[in-house]
Structure formats: structure tokens, C-alpha cells
Structure 1
Amino acid sequence: MDKIPMTVSGHQALREELNNRLSVERPRIIQDISEARAHGDLSENAEYHAAKEQQSLNEGRIQELESILTLADVIDVSRLSGDTVKFGATVLLIDEDTELEKTYQIVGDPEADASAGRISISSPISRALIGKEVGDSVEVTAPGGAHSYEILEIKYI
């Protein structure tokens, strides 16, 4: 399997989610199952079936998190520098059509959250930005249509 690039903060967030699922969610779900069992006939017990479904989803996410964390290649972005965009860069862009400024940090797939300004290294905009410098214009073809951006600033924080 290939390593999964990840920032220190993204790795920490996934580790915290795993710990929460193991130490808080798992015991709570086990308690819910136990209480539902006490209500009698399991074949017609909706609470029992709902709790078992929760258990299945939680255990699946635990396995997924453990796999991701095992394959994580944690990169300390604060130790990076340079004039070109690469993994971990925080990039200030201006949309050349609308004149709106946007700030994105390029992160690993598991920690991406576009609404929080963290975009996946494998996203169309990240792929277009990699290797570019301040002042460069990039054309991004995305599912929502083509956009042109100019790079205003590149930081590694």
C-alpha cells in the first residue's frame, strides 16, 4: 500500500476521532445494545436493531481510521518552505472572473474539508497549483466548470 500524506494537525484530528470512537462511542453503543436486549423479543426490537447498526458503522469507521493512521506519512508543514506550491502550502488565490479571493491549504485526502479551506492533494485545483509560483495563473477544470485563478501568496504555516 502507498503512504498517505497528511499534515500533523490532520493526523492528530484522526487520532482523536479514533480515540473517541474506541473509548466513548464503543462503550455507549454496547450499553445501548444491552438495554435494548433487556426489552425482550429481539426480532421485533427496533432499538436493538438500531444499536446494532450503530455498532457496525462505528466498528467500520474504527477499522478505516486504523488503516489510514497506519499508512500515514505525517509531514510537518512548518518545516517546509519555498516559492512553489507543494503539499502543505496555504495558497491565497484570486478568481480572475469574479475577483473573489480564496485561501486553500493543500492537505491529504483523509483530512480534506473544502468548506474549511483544506483541499485534497488529489483535487483538480491542487493538481493545477502544484509547482506554480506567486503571480502564475492557473486554469482549473472542475465539475462546476472552468475557472482561472491567479496565485497571490504562498505560505507554509
Structure 2
Amino acid sequence: MDRPNYITPAGYAALRAEYDVLLAGERPKLVETIAWAAGNGDRSENGDYIYGRKRLREIDRRLGWLSKRMKAAKVIDPAVQEDRARIWFGAQTTIVDADDRERTLTLVGDDEADASAGRIGWNAPLARALRGAGVGDVRRVTLPAGDREYEVLAIAYPATDRFVASD
């Protein structure tokens, strides 16, 4: 991996939680079902066995991916960002385009991005264009729909507990 996998504490906790659920919860139950189905005789027409083996491969692939992402993760708490006057990892920023459409975005790790919730990945084109910008700065970004300019209206960083996963 050529770039660090930046992630918030909550994003890392979500990856870890999914890993734990798959490894300690879903996988053992599935292995038990496969063993039961295998004991029923002919495996070639046994739906429980065939589906179980397919699902087990999917879970193992996902566990491998999650494991790699967690090993490469560099957890950064946006609440301790020193330069709060500029847009860096974890910043919540309000931008406006030439058509006076405002958007509020939060720059998060690529694994926790959700554009519909206003969270964009650190390596997304818009996030890369906004990095280091201050209030009043205008940044140009090339998007699939063409070049657009955005002006930064506000920058805020969350309190620590916003990104900490709850128990």
C-alpha cells in the first residue's frame, strides 16, 4: 500500500466490530451448519452444504480484507488537530459552488466514506482539492461532470466523543 490508510477512531472501531462479529459469531455458526449438512449424505444436491461453503468463502475473504485494512490503518483523532484554521483529516467544512449551492462535508478515511451522509474519503478528488484550504479560499476540482470551483465558508473539528464508538 503506497498511501497510509487514515481512519478515525470510530471508523477503526467499526472495522474491528465487523471483524469480531464475522470471526466469533457468524463463521462458527456457519461451520457448524456445513458440518451438519455434510453429514446428511450427498453433497452435490445439498443446498445447505453448497450455500454454506459459498458463504464461508465470502466471510473468509472479508475477514482477510478487514485484517489487511486494520493492519495498515493509521488512527487519527480529528479532535486533536493542531491547525484548526485549515482543512485536514477529520475537518467538517462547508463549501459553496458557483451556483450558490452549499454542502457540508467531513473528510474521513476512505473505508468510512459515505457521500450520502456527507462523509467523503480522504483520497477523493474533492477532499484532495480541499486539503490545506482555509476559510475564504477557492479551490478547483476536476469531477466527472467537469471542473468546478468551491469556496470554503467554514471549518470545524469535532469534539473527541463524536468519533469515539459507543459501547
State if a TM-score over 0.5 links the two structures. Answer: yes
Q: Which residue of 2 aligns with 1:84?
A: 86
- Displacement of 1:109 in angstroms is 1.6
1:39-62 CA distances to partner (integer Å, 9 max, x unpaired)?
431112233221111111111111
Amino acid in structure 1 at the alignment position of 2:81:
L
Q: Equivalent residue of 1:92, what SS? A: strand
Aligned equivalents of 2:98 and 2:35: distance in 1?
Answer: 59
- Displacement of 1:10 in angstroms is 0.7
Q: Equivalent residue of 1:104, what SS? A: strand
Q: Equivalent residue of 1:128, what SS? A: helix
Deviates more, 1:136-145 or 1:55-64: 136-145
Q: Which residue of 1 aligns with 2:64?
A: 63
Aligned equivalents of 2:147 and 2:41: distance in 1?
Answer: 59
Q: Which residue of 1 aligns with 2:104?
A: 103
> 2:150 matched to 1:149?
yes
> 2:96 matched to 1:94?
yes
Deviates more, 1:60-69 or 1:33-42: 33-42
1:2-151 equivalent positions in 2, closer than 5 A: 3-81=4-82, 82-97=84-99, 99-151=100-152
Q: Equivalent residue of 2:44, what SS? A: helix
TM-score by length of 2: 0.85
Aligned equivalents of 2:96 and 2:40: distance in 1?
Answer: 60
Identity of aligned residues (%): 40
Aligned equivalents of 1:7 and 1:132: distance in 2?
Answer: 20
Q: Equivalent residue of 1:5, what SS? A: strand
- Displacement of 1:65 in angstroms is 1.0
Q: CA RMSD in A?
A: 1.7
Pair 1:147–1:36, CA change in 2 (3 A): farther
Q: Which runs of 5+ in 1 are unaligned?
A: none
TM-score by length of 1: 0.90
Q: Which runs of 5+ in 2 are unaligned?
A: 159-167
Aligned equivalents of 2:49 and 2:79: distance in 1?
Answer: 48
Aligned equivalents of 1:144 and 1:22: distance in 2?
Answer: 42
Aligned equivalents of 1:100 and 1:22: distance in 2?
Answer: 44
Aligned equivalents of 2:71 and 2:149: distance in 1?
Answer: 37
Aligned equivalents of 2:85 and 2:22: distance in 1?
Answer: 40
Q: How many residues align?
A: 156
1:61-116 CA distances to partner (integer Å, 9 max, x unpaired)?
1111111111211111111142111111111112322x222111111222222122
